[in-house]
Amino acid sequence: MEGDIRTVHVLISGRVQGVAYRAWTERRANALGLSGWVRNVDSGASGGQVEAVFSGPSAAVEAMLAACHEGPDYAWVERVEVLGRAEPVTGAFTIRTDR
């Protein structure tokens, strides 16, 4: 069903730190009506990694995952990996500062 709630845990790799990827993700997720969070990951990877949880209607989550492959201007996304399902999240989508 289109209205089914889906929650996924995602890791985005490439040039995604220092290019406003988290702020872009927050705006896009909120525009799609998703809950969850995004944060930078200290991974040692060149360009960094961003971790996120997206929770909401399946179609909106799919749209967000597709958008993550592009990201904002100046980002270069090498990979978007769905790590698995996560527990549903409610409330506004936020940027987390913990790593």
Active site residues: 22, 40
CA distance 48 to 40: 8
Q: What is the end-to-end Cα distance of the chain in Å, rounded?
A: 35
CA distance 85 to 29: 17
Residue partners of 46: CB distance under 8 A and separation at least 6: none
